[in-house]
Amino acid sequence: EADIYQTPRYLVIGTGKKITLECSQTMGHDKMYWYQQDPGMELHLIHYSYGVNSTEKGDLSSESTVSRIRTEHFPLTLESARPSHTSQYLCASSDGTITYEQYFGPGTRLTVT
Amino acid sequence: KNQVEQSPQSLIILEGKNCTLQCNYTVSPFSNLRWYKQDTGRGPVSLTIMTFSENTKSNGRYTATLDADTKQSSLHITASQLSDSASYICVVSDRGSTLGRLYFGRGTQLTVWP
């Protein structure tokens, strides 16, 4: 099982609150990713990082922001949560080999009321 | 447009039976195709990865096939178990970037009944 962790696993929060979803990996992977997934739908890439101090936006526009100050840590922040942000957020990291195997964390289920 | 389509959307089978899930893709240039298993409320876990030159790969009771000419893949599950109940996601990677961009299908929701 991959060593990639996400906290919290579940979060229910009111509109307008600032939240940070944590993601950490102990595999020393340079590449890390954030995906958003709604029930019955495909995963959509919202942020990725090639390494420390590198962050890029993904295919799906998101109001969230990310940072990569340390290799093992890739937190995602929402400055002002809204009900439209309700979703599952999955973090992943990649070993950078030719097949770019991505290892996923367990996810954070976010509900904004 | 790079897309991954899966069928059926959902499937119910009895424990011990076999089943086959389908995946069609239009991703180009193709790098590799993966099948992931995602349990409810969990992150996806890789089952198999196949490159262009591979046309079959097994992982226990899971066997994936790839036809790169027709851009089709299948995942065959043998002697299903209750623990096989999950969403099975087909994922295709392109060679167009160093990111290893992945294109995800919506998954087939498999339910195994006792």
Q: Which residues pair with A37 in a beta bridge?
A: A88
A109: nearest CA in chain B? B41
* pLDDT over threshold 80, residue B98: no
**pLDDT value at position B100?**
64
* Coil vs helix vs strand at B37: strand
How many CB atoms neighbour CB A85 within 10 A?
19
Following DSSP, what letter does each residue of chain A receive, concatenated? ---EEEE-SEEEE-TT--EEEEEEESS--SEEEEEEE-TTS--EEEEEEEETTEEEE-SS--S-EE--SBTTB--EEESS--GGG-EEEEEEEE--STT--EEE---EEEEE-
**pLDDT value at position A35?**
96
Chosen for mutation from B3, B23, B104 (greatest number of chain A CBs closer than 10 Å) is B104
* pLDDT over threshold 90, residue B52: no
B32–A99: do the CB atoms touch at under 8 Å? yes
A101–B102: do the CB atoms touch at under 8 Å? no
**Tens of pLDDT along A45-72?**
999 998 999 999 988 878 899 999 999 9
A31–B109: do the CB atoms touch at under 8 Å? no
- CB-closest option in A50, A102, A106 to B102: A102
A101–B101: do the CB atoms touch at under 8 Å? no
**pLDDT value at position B14?**
97
B4–A42: do the CB atoms touch at under 8 Å? yes
Chosen for mutation from A9, A23, A101, A102 (greatest number of chain B CBs closer than 10 Å) is A102
Q: Which of A110, A100, A111, A90 is nearest to A31 (CA)?
A: A100
> Is the minimum CB–CB distance between A38 and chain B shorter than 8 Å?
no
**pLDDT value at position B97?**
58
Once rounded to an integer, what is the mean pLDDT over residues B103-113?
A: 96
